[in-house]
Each structure stands twice: as C-alpha cells, then as structure tokens.
Amino acid sequence: MIKKISIILALIIAVPFITALFVESNYAVEREVIIEANKNDVFNYIKYLKNQNNFSKWAQMDPNAIKTYRGIDATVGFVATWDSKNEEVGQGEQEIVKIIDGKRIDYELRFFKPFESTEPAYMTTTALSPQQTKVTWGFSGHMDYPMNLMFLFMDFEQIIGADLQTGLDNLKVVLEK
C-alpha cells in the first residue's frame, strides 16, 4: 500500500515536469494600428522613448513610478529606467539597440523585479498613403523549463497583445489630435 501511494505521488510530481518538456518556451506577439498621419511624423514621435509615457499602457500603469534616463533620447544606446512599487510594473529598463531611420526601432527590455528577464521588442512604421501610416509593435520572450508550463494556463499572446493594442490605440489618439 505504501509503495502504491509512493508511486502515485511520484507520478503526480513528475507529470508536470514531463509535460513541460513538450511545451513551447518562446512566444512572440505583434499588434498594429493605422494612424491618419504622415509616416515621418509618426516615426519621429515613436523613436523617442520618453514619448512612450504618453501612450504605453505599461508606462501609464503607475504614474508614481520613478523614471530615469541615460543618454540622448531617440538614439542607439539611450536607456529609460523605471522603478515602481506596483508589482505589475516592477523595475527594469529599456534600451534602444538599433534604429533604421523612418522604418524601425529595436529595443532591449531588461526586467529586474518582480522577475529577471531580457526580451527584445520593436516598433515599425509603414506608409500606406502620404497621410496614413501602419505602426506595428512587437514583443517576444522566453520562459525557461519548467516555468514554460505556465503557457498551458496563461495566454501570453492575448495578455501582452491586449497591452500592446491599448498602447497603439493610445498612440493613434495622441497622433491624430
């Protein structure tokens, strides 16, 4: 009887770890919005990290977060940091790592609290007409084994996608004023 109980307990403990071996550990999320504005004007606005305070859902979640900056905004190497007591915001920094002028900005997000992680993100602009621009915001990430098991219970694409879309919708309002 004790042997059977031990086997059952071992299986209960082992099944999640075995399952996690077969669960994807990477995710990628992308959202877009069409803004009634010139592509150059849109790009020249989004390339400034400080402007994310005006449209990013994450930047607006804690207006009391301490924000600091290093370098020259809208240039490679510029770093924006945040430190919040709100666990949903936490502590981290975002650095501009590449700019293709008028087309794309690549960032590196470094999260320190409530968890440590380094993830890439980007924003692109595409002219649809002289006064219409498609803005795409993308984010990707990775969860190490066995934490990747969370993907079975949480839809990161939907959760992060909704936050990206909120930010893009806010950006549309800001730039179409």
Q: Where are the domains of the chain?
A: 25-175
Over range 36-58, report the average pLDDT. 97
Residue 160 CB burial class (10 angstroms; 0-12, 13-18, ≥19): buried
Query: Is 123 a residue whose pLDDT tops 90?
Result: yes
Amino acid occupying residue 132: Q
DSSP letters, 12-77, are: HHHHHHHHHTTS--EEEEEEEEEESS-HHHHHHHHT-GGGGGGT-HHHHS-TT-EEEEES-TTSTT
pLDDT per residue over 64-105, tens digit each? 999 999 999 999 999 999 999 999 899 999 999 999 999 999
pLDDT of residue 158: 82
pLDDT bin (cut points 50, 70, 90) of residue 149 is low
Q: Nearest Cα to 37, choosing from 163, 137, 173? A: 173
Indicate the CATH number for domain 25-175: 3.30.530.20
Residue 30 CB burial class (10 angstroms; 0-12, 13-18, ≥19): middle
Query: Is 144 a residue whose pLDDT tops 80?
Result: no
Return the higher-pLDDT residue of 154 and 67. 67
Query: Is 146 a residue whose pLDDT tops 90?
Result: no
Neighbouring residues of 23: CB distance < 8 A, sequence distance ≥ 6: 148, 149, 151, 152
Instruction: Give the global pTM.
Output: 0.84
**Percent of the chain scored above 90 by pLDDT?**
67
Q: Nearest Cα to 49, choosing from 112, 103, 122? A: 122
Query: Is 145 a residue whose pLDDT tops 80?
Result: no
Q: Which two tokens stand for residue 4?
A: 């059977």
pLDDT bin (cut points 50, 70, 90) of residue 45 is very high
pLDDT of residue 148: 64
Neighbouring residues of 11: CB distance < 8 A, sequence distance ≥ 6: none
